[in-house]
Amino acid sequence: MTKRPAGASAAAAKQVAAAPEAVAGGSETRTLTLRLAPAVHDRLREMAYTSRRSQHSLLLEALDDLFRKHGKPPIPS
């Protein structure tokens, strides 16, 4: 987590947090905060550990399934 400078406003901190990040290939990503109940978080961590995948990749898979369920295009690879 990045520290904001002393005296920086909350609005300025939100702008920094919402700024897009450059990734390989020149595309951009956005940061999303997700709040989970401890039991749900534990299940996600366990699934990531046992499948040897990141929590991030599991959540992207879930979002991809959600998009398909609602007739939206899948997440590009």
Mean pLDDT per 10-residue segment, the chain (77 residues): 54 49 64 96 98 96 96 91
Residue 61 lies in a domain: yes
Q: How far apart are CA 29 and CA 38, in angstroms?
A: 26
Residue 2 lies in a domain: no
| pTM, full prediction | 0.64
Residue 24 lies in a domain: yes
What is the predicted pLDDT for the residue at 27? 74
Q: How far apart are CA 3 and CA 74, in angstroms?
A: 35
Residue 75 lies in a domain: no
Q: How far apart are CA 24 and CA 45, in angstroms?
A: 26
Domain of residue 54, residue span: 10-69
What is the predicted pLDDT for the residue at 10? 55
Residue 65 lies in a domain: yes
Torsion sign across C-alpha atoms 64, 50, 29, 19: positive
Query: First CA to last CA across the chain, in angstroms?
Result: 27
Residue 36 lies in a domain: yes
- Domain count for the chain: 1
